[in-house]
Structure 1
């Protein structure tokens, strides 16, 4: 089997059913075959421009292909290729709360003990990827924290937020405007917004994988992924594992369905930090999914953070909890930049505060930056 045979099959499939196209991820079992296919595809493009709709996913390796829904991998190729539906993914937040005028340090940032660490670490120069709806580049609380990032929906444009969710996440992680606005967990961290979600808060798995790939290539240290899906994606799993092996840690939200014993993907993958939400009282929030697969809980109820057009909004969800943990990882990495993803996950798990009245067996505890700093001093 060579790259030419794969190109011929894809060309035939694309030409046979344009009316019923759907987004599909074509994964290659071996890197060598993927490389041969890429070489053959580039040579065929001038003759068959319809192949230009195929996009690369080098981090897996795989391709994004618009194929008819009934398309199957030919029997002769099944040891080498597999197809996966390019699923839609939703952000993890409850319906938006009210616009507020609160200033200073939000309760969640105080609750996890972040201010007690700022004399030692503020997340200085740690690169944080936020795969989300983009950010409000004009927000005064974020102007010192933002890098350009990337817009995967419109490549020539800034990843400008048209939803609000990504701005809220970025604010909790690294806002730095304490006197006129708010301050986040790691106010000197660098936010690299990766816009994969549209104004409705929807993205495709392939765009999330492209976002992970961009983070790996650009030396991002930690990635916030405040979204979830109910079904497992082999392609996303492979991308998460690839990032982990490359030294990029992913922090993911458990979901807001109030389920006990099950959490959403990608938080369910072992190579992420899975986050549940707590209340001001240090109890598990009623809306959060929870199970023994959660690594840490963090504030997620009525969290005030940055919003569109320079405003602030109160929101609840495991998304909000996840951004607290991502900020804490940035504080840790600024202090100990050589820590590997597995080591960071272990430090966070070992430094938690036990939850109040938890009925979940083998339950993780609540994030504590204070305990985290004490533990890292012993390493």
Structure 2
């Protein structure tokens, strides 16, 4: 492959103005040796070709990510690479209402899954959870104990500060700890590594998620929380999810909030993830939750009180909130059984789930529905060798 020629063509394509908004292409190399050689030429040619300075790379899936409008510009080099157009992806944010006062009682979701009953044995201590989201509020009093530096993929010179609220809410539902009045998460001993891939509108691109997962693998994250989704399948996203899975990272993803009965969003639909639907206070599938055979487990997701930006608290509903309950529960298990594989954890979650009440017509009679039960999961996990 003529790497200098390829990169010069790529540089020209990058410098062409996009007709509408931002456009990117994900360029994956079929062979690892070709990717490494091209990357070597890229580093050498960047100083002289300004367009190449905006190219990012994912070593995990041997990909270059380039801001260019038209993939056809690279047509003559298509034999050695696979080019996929970048697409938008959004956080699974539901309705939110401001709560002016924090509460001193245990959140209903934590109580429902019996997480508090496991705390004498495990709080998820030192389990690293990568929350790929809108960032986090580093000044929130209920989160200061659990936050690592993380990374801001939108501006690497800055901390991953939350300018939306969704990421702070997820972090709090997982690991908040308050000794007076405030939010309490499922695993208050866990470490949250905020990975800011989403902007203030809760919007990102598949390429941002690829770079986020790549960062999580390189930084030895134990669990990745992905409270977001999209309707279309991405081969590049599947590849990076699979690589993280084979590296032993547990990936927890929300099913979506469209009330679909037989379909869920990507990446939750990929078999390498643990897909999560939402329940209400009565142990039924929440009306907004996607459901069906692709969902692995359900968890509380309706009117969940958690931390918010500017030291506040919000009540939110969505499969995002359910996913954070499952991520926290897995952290409780991993503190005690760190050698468990993602597949073993998924199987144990399903096997120890609590039976659920059904709304009329929400699922076929043969469907085996289950809501996460943290206490039972830990009890059964301890028995494993």
Quickly say closer, same or farther: Cα 1:14–1:161, change in 2 above 3 A. closer
Q: Which TM-score applies when normalising by structure 2? A: 0.94
1:264-315 deviation digits (Å, cap 9, x = unpaired) = 0000000000000000100000000011010000000010001111111111
Moved more, 97-106 or 267-276: 97-106
* Aligned residues of 1:124 and 1:188 also touching (Cα < 8 A): yes
CA separation in 2, counterparts of 1:290 and 1:73?
41
Residue matched to 1:86: 86
Residue matched to 1:18: 17
Cα drift, residue 353 of structure 1: 0.9
Residue matched to 1:28: 29
Residue matched to 1:177: 178
1:42-78 deviation digits (Å, cap 9, x = unpaired) = 222233232212111111111111223363542x533
Residue matched to 1:9: 9
Gaps of 5+ in 2: none
- How many pairs are equivalent? 377
CA separation in 2, counterparts of 1:182 and 1:375?
28
1:191-238 deviation digits (Å, cap 9, x = unpaired) = 111111111111111111111111111111001110010001111111
Runs of 4+ in 1 over 6 A off after TM superposition: none
Instruction: Write out aligned runs for 1:77-156 (5 A).
Output: 77-101=77-101, 102-156=103-157
CA separation in 1, counterparts of 2:47 and 2:152?
27
* Aligned residues of 1:2 and 1:33 also touching (Cα < 8 A): no
Cα drift, residue 163 of structure 1: 0.7
Cα drift, residue 350 of structure 1: 0.9
Residue matched to 1:44: 45
- Is 1:310 the counterpart of 2:311? The answer is yes
CA separation in 1, counterparts of 2:59 and 2:105?
43
CA separation in 2, counterparts of 1:25 and 1:282?
42
Gaps of 5+ in 1: none
Instruction: Write out aligned runs for 1:220-299 (5 A).
Output: 220-299=221-300
Q: CA RMSD in A?
A: 1.5
Cα drift, residue 90 of structure 1: 0.8
Q: Which TM-score applies when normalising by structure 1? A: 0.96
CA separation in 2, counterparts of 1:140 and 1:121?
22
